[in-house]
Structure 1
Amino acid sequence: MADRGDMGWRVTAAGAAFAGGWVARKAITAAWKKSTGKEPPTNPESPDVALREALAWAVLMGVGMEVARLLATRAAARQWAKGTGKAPEHFRADV
């Protein structure tokens, strides 16, 4: 069963990942609009969206969201370690 520290970390990590994803989605959408001059596809699966555009959007969102999640979780782990004096359990090299 998870102890309080583990549950606290899970909540912190989830919040960081959510916030990082939200910011990334806004930034990626703005970059798409600026570079293409149009809105990103709302439904890339639709046959009305060009395959090239759908693939570009999927790759950009997939990579961008994962990078944002990774960076946000790492930043949260650093802050967690500063506040508690130790890294979250599964982040420590000695585990």
Structure 2
Amino acid sequence: MATKKTKSTVATITGGATALAATWVAHKAVGTAWKAILGHEPPDAEDEGDARFVEVAVAAVITGAVVALVRVLATRGTAKFANRVDEGRLSVRG
């Protein structure tokens, strides 16, 4: 029977924190780019302003795509880091 390799606690905590931070940074970057290009903040679901549906949809698609891509890249990078830690090639002192 093959043994299933489990992630260490360090990898789990690091992965979660990295994904959260990357998501926050991506969301802020999209907001900043949107404001620089269009001159105003991207519309939010809670906004009761006069944002057109097309603008809301485009903002949602761009934000969702960028956040998803950044989360995947952050998760993969963290997984590589965790593998190095688990294999003993990198020591973590705590």
Q: TM-score range by the shorter chain?
A: 0.7 to 0.9
Q: Does 1:65 align with 2:58?
A: no
Deviation (angstroms), 1:82: 1.8
One-letter code aligned to 2:73: L
Instruction: Report what 2:30 is aligned to.
Output: 28
Unaligned runs of 5+ in 2: 1-5, 89-94
TM-score (norm 2): 0.74
Instruction: Report what 1:51 is aligned to.
Output: 53
Greater radius of gyration (CA): 2
Instruction: Report what 1:77 is aligned to.
Output: 79
Kept in 2, the 8 Å contact 1:45–1:54? The answer is no
Alignment: residue pair count: 83
Give the root-mean-square deviation of aligned CA atoms. Answer: 2.3
State the distance in 1 between where 2:87 and 2:58 align: 42
Q: Hey, which bits of structure 1, 4+ residues long, moved more than 4 A?
A: 44-47
Unaligned runs of 5+ in 1: 87-95
TM-score (norm 1): 0.74
State the identity %.
Answer: 31
Structure with larger RCO (C-alpha < 8 A, sep 6+): 2
Q: Does 1:39 align with 2:11?
A: no
Higher share of residues assigned helix: 1
User: What are the equivalent positions in structure 2 for 1:2-21 lying under 5 Å apart?
Assistant: 5=8, 7-21=9-23
Instruction: Report what 1:93 is aligned to.
Output: none
